[in-house]
Amino acid sequence: MAVQTVQAYQFALDVTPAQVRALLAHAGAARVAFNWSLARVKSVLDQRSAERSYGVAEELLTPVVGWSLPALRRVWNVEKGVVAPWWREVSKEAFNTGLDALARGLKQWGDSRRGQRAGRPVGFPRFKSRHRSIPSVRFTTGAIRVEPDRKHVVLPRLGRLKLHESARKLARRVEAGTARIMSATVRRAGGRWHVAFTVTVERTDRRPERPAATVGVDVGIRHLAVLSTGEFVANPRHLDTAQTRLRALGRALSRKQGPDRRTGRVPSQRWRRASARLGRAHARVADLRRDGLHKLTTRLACTYGTVVVEDLHVAGMLRNRRLARHIADAGFAEFRRQLAYKTVWNGGRLVVADRWYPSSKTCSRCGAVKAKLPLRERTYTCTSCGLVLDRDVNAARNLADLAVQPTDPETGTGMGGVVSAGSGPVAGRGAIQKTHFGGQEAKNRQPDTAPADQTGTVPS
């Protein structure tokens, strides 16, 4: 049985100088529509706020401007002849890109204020700068196709663009009728232009190589991943490896004449070239990290029927100034994100352990829980059964054991789902919350339950 999924195919472009100017013109049009519509929304909000302070009745206030994409588009179509008299020179999708981005930003801000959005508070949208924003434009209508030679793509108003690599994987699916292109987004990142196709794909049912096998994955810094099978996946540390070159490029950039907004000084051409070299170096690090994570997650999803990972509080870990750079370089969040959809694609399931589950402090043989386990102790020694095991292997085995624990069927337990498991909020109940204890108070305090790992498994 075939299942429809939404998938993206991204390819690098080899564009000519004329095509670069056309792409920048479209990206600039999207930025103009975004900034003008945002200014219109802000002016209406400020005007209504001022009128309320004067005691004007609600029914007499300035009419609001709708925040949805159709409402913003209607206002823009009325004023675009005055705001952008050159609007006929670019595709209408360029303006739609900016308006859609503003509609999404306003919705996220409103949902965050009302408490309907999880995560950190979202601020009000800000104006986009020509020099600091990433050029991007999205096409949803018009001629969007891959040429028969699979080395060129056709986009509205931009025409025929050459690909840096072959698009045969996408072309084969489109020709077979198992994929349909929904949209195409062109953006510049790391000094190179890319095109990403959003495609609806019909995927056939798949099964992992070992459907009944379960693997626990403990991520860390010393080793990128430690499996419950005893396998250690080395951490390539791409950012640390590139630090020497990045520092040299950063010093070279600091010696050039850069921009100064206070005096209005424009950057020199040498500064622009040095900045581009530094950007390409950072982009290479990101590409290497992404490639390694894709290979690891694909192998896990295609091999094991059940994969168990931790729900780490990565934002809290990044507050540790000694480990922040190493944690960011490992890419814990990206690792879990890729596993979430790849396990579904391959017919497996992903079990996410509760954030408070003490996987590192629990003995994988007898289940005894230690009160404390400092990060410097790399070997787990159980005082109850005498187990001596690597700390990360012990945590991975505890994670693998979670997959066989009974869970609520309403959470989606079964093949092809993401399941939450672990001790839940009870694990944190009775745990010692204070950082330091002194005197007899620390010796006499006995928690009601086994103390929990307050941050999940601390990365090794």
Residues designated catalytic = 218, 310, 392
Report the alpha-carbon distance of residue 271 to residue 277 in Å, rounded.
10
Report the alpha-carbon distance of residue 203 to residue 201 in Å, rounded.
6
Closest CA to 353 of 224, 210, 453: 453
Question: Listing from the earlier edge strand, what are the strands of the sheet with 152-155?
Answer: 136-139, 179-189, 192-204, 2-14, 159-163, 152-155, 145-146
CA 67 to chain CA centroid, Å, is: 25
Torsion region of 457: left, alpha or beta (phi above 0 gives left; psi -120 to 50 gives alpha) = beta
CB 390 within 8 A of CB 379: yes
Concatenated DSSP letters of 329-370: HHTHHHHHHHHHHHHHHTT-EEEEE-TT--TTTB-TTT--B-
HSE of 443, CA atoms in CB hemisphere, 13 A: 2
Q: Which residue has the tokens 């879990």?
A: 336
Report the alpha-carbon distance of residue 401 to residue 395 in Å, rounded.
10
Report the alpha-carbon distance of residue 110 to residue 114 in Å, rounded.
6
CA 60 to chain CA centroid, Å, is: 44
Enumerate the H helices of 54-177 as residue ranges.
69-83, 92-113, 168-176
Closest CA to 359 of 404, 407, 311, 320: 311
**Structure token digits, residue 115:** 């408490």
The H or E element that residue 213 is part of is strand 210-219
**Structure token digits, residue 378:** 């790399």
Distances in whole angstroms, Cα of residue 299 to Cα of each of 29, 346, 400, 452 = 42, 11, 17, 32
CB 424 within 8 A of CB 356: yes
Concatenated DSSP letters of 112-144: HHTT-S-SSPPPPP-PPPTTTSPPEEEE-SS--
